Amino acid sequence: MGTDRPGAGTGRSEPLPDGGRFEIRVRGTLGEGLRSAFAELTVTLRPAETVMYGGGIDQSALYGILDRIQALGLELLEVRGLPPPSRAEKPSG
């Protein structure tokens, strides 16, 4: 039984395409308690939705976040991959 997931069966996770950056939207404005369930993400509240951003997320971590969204009874509106950071966005060092 094969799988096309990056890192599947290798015992390690690999970054997703496009740098593993994601934007996840859920319906409603999450309170502080629910936001704390997504500490690894940057959370932005909008009037009718909550937008969460994450970078360096491998596929298993993304599935874990989506499982948490479902377990908390949140309505998932959208998940989309973001392009890699531009030179201006990358920290120098």
Strand-pair category, 21-27 with 42-45:
unpaired
Strand-pair category, 49-54 with 42-45:
antiparallel
Question: Radius of gyration (Cα) for the chain, nearest Å?
Answer: 15
Residues 24 and 80: their CA atoms lie apart, in Å, by: 7
The pTM score is 0.71
Residue with tokens 């369930």: 37
**pLDDT one-digit tens code per residue, 59-93:** 889 999 999 999 999 999 999 998 877 766 555 55
